[in-house]
Amino acid sequence: MKAWYEWREAPSASFAVIGDPIEHSWSPLIHTAALSTAGPEHRYVAIRVPKDELAPALYHLTELGYLGVNVTVPLKESAYRLSDPDDVAQRYGTVNTIRLGDRTSTNTDAGGFRDSLQGLIESPSHALVLGAGGTSKALCRVLAEDGWRILIWNRTRERGESLLADLGFQARLVDSADPTGAGLILNTTSASLQGAALPVLWERASHTALAYDVSYGVEPSRFLQDARRSGLNVLDGVDMLIGQAARSLSWWLGIEPDRKAMADALEHLRWKP
Ligand code: ATR
Per-residue model confidence as pLDDT tens digits over 69-83: 999 989 998 999 999
CA of 43 to the centre of ligand 1 (A): 30
CA of 223 to the centre of ligand 1 (A): 14
Mutate to test the pocket of ligand 1, among 54, 189, 241 (most ligand atoms within 8 A of CB): 189
Mutate to test the pocket of ligand 1, among 95, 190, 223 (most ligand atoms within 8 A of CB): 190
The confidence score (pLDDT) of residue 82 equals 98
- Strand order through the sheet with 4-6: 4-6, 44-48, 15-19, 68-71, 97-99, 104-106, 84-85
Nearest CA to ligand 1 atom 24: 191
The confidence score (pLDDT) of residue 38 equals 72
Report the predicted TM-score, pTM, of the whole model to 2 decimal places.
0.94
Ligand 1 atom at minimum distance from 193 CA = 24
The confidence score (pLDDT) of residue 39 equals 65
Indicate if ligand 1 lies below 6 Å from the C-beta of 154: yes
User: Rounded to whole angstroms, how far apart are CA atoms 172 and 181?
Assistant: 15
Ligand 1 atom at minimum distance from 76 CA = 2
Nearest CA to ligand 1 atom 27: 191
Indicate if ligand 1 lies below 6 Å from the C-beta of 133: yes
Nearest CA to ligand 1 atom 26: 191
The predicted-structure confidence for 123-152, as pLDDT tens digits, reads as follows: 999 999 999 998 999 999 999 999 999 999
Mean pLDDT, 10 residues at a time, the chain of 273 residues: 91 97 96 84 95 98 98 93 98 95 97 96 94 94 96 97 91 97 97 93 97 96 97 97 98 95 96 86
Coil, helix or strand for 26?
A: coil
The confidence score (pLDDT) of residue 261 equals 95
Which amino acids are annotated catalytic? 76
The confidence score (pLDDT) of residue 20 equals 96
Find out whether 8 and 60 touch, Cβ atoms under 8 Å: yes
Amino acid letter, residue 253: L
Ligand 1 atom at minimum distance from 196 CA = 27
The confidence score (pLDDT) of residue 40 equals 61
Indicate if ligand 1 lies below 6 Å from the C-beta of 189: yes
The confidence score (pLDDT) of residue 3 equals 86
Indicate if ligand 1 lies below 6 Å from the C-beta of 132: yes
Indicate if ligand 1 lies below 6 Å from the C-beta of 196: yes
User: Rounded to whole angstroms, how far apart are CA atoms 96 and 138?
Assistant: 10
